[in-house]
Homo-oligomer: A and B are copies of this chain.
Amino acid sequence: MRLDPIFKPEAVAVVGASRTEGKLGYTVLRNIKEGFKGRIYPVNPKADEILGLKCYSSIEEIPDRIDLAVILVPHSSVIDAIRSCAKKGARGFVVISGGFREAGREDLEKELVNEVRKAGGRLIGPNCQGINNPHMGLCASWPFIGKPGPIAIISQSGTIGAYMEMNCEFLGISKFVALGNKADVDEIDLLEYLADDQDTKVVSLYIEGTKNGRRFMDAVEKCSRRKPVVILKGGITEAGRESIKSHTGTLAGRDEVYDAAFRKAGAIRASNLEEFLDFTIALSFYGPRKIEEVVVITSSGGCGILASDAIETRGMRLMRLDGKVEKLREEMPDFVVLRNPLDLTGSAYAELYDKAMEIIGDADAYLLIFGDPIPGAFDVVRKHKEKNIFVSYLGGGDVEKEEVEKFRNAGFPVFPTPERAVNAMYAVRSYWRMLNKG
């Protein structure tokens, strides 16, 4: 694969490495050094050594072949750097430096792409927040995110990408790519690459527009058949589209067109940043699941009602407990309200959730709502891990934060409100339905 030199290099040059803490040339080198097991060549004419690594005064001095060049020098020096790195064998280029199309220098950007093509290489950027592949320990980006896992994030916005990385790290990241100006590699190339990537189980994509709508939708469709593609699209309004023009210069089409196309292509579309995160987390953890009937077990009657509303609104149903009520009546304390949602009331304790699931048994999905500080919640969920359990843990106090932390450390998602848990469930169900529609 022609993107392998970018994501799976054996040797990396950091052109524009810096000794000054706070500068990107320092941060990126430090983040690569943190996890990367291959060879690292910092290039800086003024330094002999940075962060304990021998530093080279020019690319020419690098004594061995390189695969990937991460470039942070001023825009006027980028093309020379590409040329020199290509001579050293580099076929992967990540240009973090700005000063190209976004600054009115289309000419320089064209020249840059030509140089990369001449070398037979591929380019991420320019004007981007870099890439990350935790499976290789290669964080050529910021902040440092080290935990490998199933989630690939492609983002036209560095900040949105970093936000996703940080909040998904507890499940682990397979790839992160900040698209920047996408002068060469774009979302289409990446969807094609990630569709085949064994480490990636879900692709999460923030875009503002695409140059080739038809090819993009084909790529989404092909990738979606193998793994869920969650999309957040910026510029759904006229105001948003106006803002896009100055952000990445992309011309974004009308939203209705995108919406129909996304649906046809099988993408799971998020309508805001929070949903983007929730959908990504849910699809990564649960994968596709057939969910028509849900069992809700709650310590809060009110939250059970909010969950019931959300379940029906999202096209699912509460499972009938008819055959189980007798047994529940025998085994549960008197204060439990014997229906679905099963209301354990404020007197709830962890063992009651356990017992209820033992009795009720199989269900398409469980929603467990911990509305009060309930110690042991995590142990119960872990015990029933073969069941399809979604968890909402209402927070605010220290006990709750501590218990939620236990879930998070074990890589188990917790949603802060019943409605967000049901929304996550809906994404999981939508992907199953997409796969099984014909």
Contacts and interface: CB of A to CB of B under 8 A. Distances in A.
A343 B246 CA distance: 9
Interface string A295-326: 00001111111101111110001100000000
Contact of A234 (B167, B206, B244, B306): B306
Contacts of A114: none
Contacts of A208: 302, 305
Nearest to A370: B159
B305 A417 contact: no
Nearest to A233: B309
- Chain B CB within 10 Å — which of A206, A248, A306 has the most? A306
A186 to B, nearest CB: 16
Nearest to A240: B309
A272 interface: yes
A303 B159 contact: yes
B160 A206 contact: no
Contacts of A156: 302
Interface in A333-382: 335, 337, 339, 341, 343, 346, 371-372
Contacts of A317: 239
A308 B155 contact: no
Contacts of A235: 305, 308-309
Given A274-B419, A335-B98, A416-B274, A308 B243 contact: yes
Contacts of A417: 272-274
Contacts of A308: 235, 237, 239-240, 242-243
Given A163-B371, A311-B239, A304 B418 contact: no
A396 interface: yes
B159 A247 contact: no
A81 interface: no
A394 interface: yes
A402 interface: no
A397 interface: yes
A430 interface: no
Contacts of A119: none
A163 B394 contact: yes
A240 B302 contact: no
A166 B396 contact: yes
A236 interface: yes
Interface in A141-190: 143, 155-160, 162-163, 165-167
Contacts of A166: 395-397
A396 B234 CA distance: 21
A122 interface: no
B346 A159 contact: yes
Given A371-B159, A394-B163, A274 B420 contact: yes
A254 to B, nearest CB: 13
Contacts of A237: 308-309, 312-313
A419 B243 CA distance: 15
A205 to B, nearest CB: 12
Contacts of A98: 335
A419 B273 CA distance: 7
Contact of A158 (B160, B163, B272, B346): B346
Contacts of A4: none
Nearest to A102: B337
9 contacts: A158-B300, A159-B302, A160-B300, A160-B306, A163-B396, A234-B309, A240-B306, A272-B306, A273-B303
Given A159-B394, A163-B394, A234-B302, 11 more contacts: A98-B335, A157-B301, A165-B396, A234-B309, A237-B308, A240-B309, A242-B318, A247-B304, A272-B417, A273-B303, A274-B417
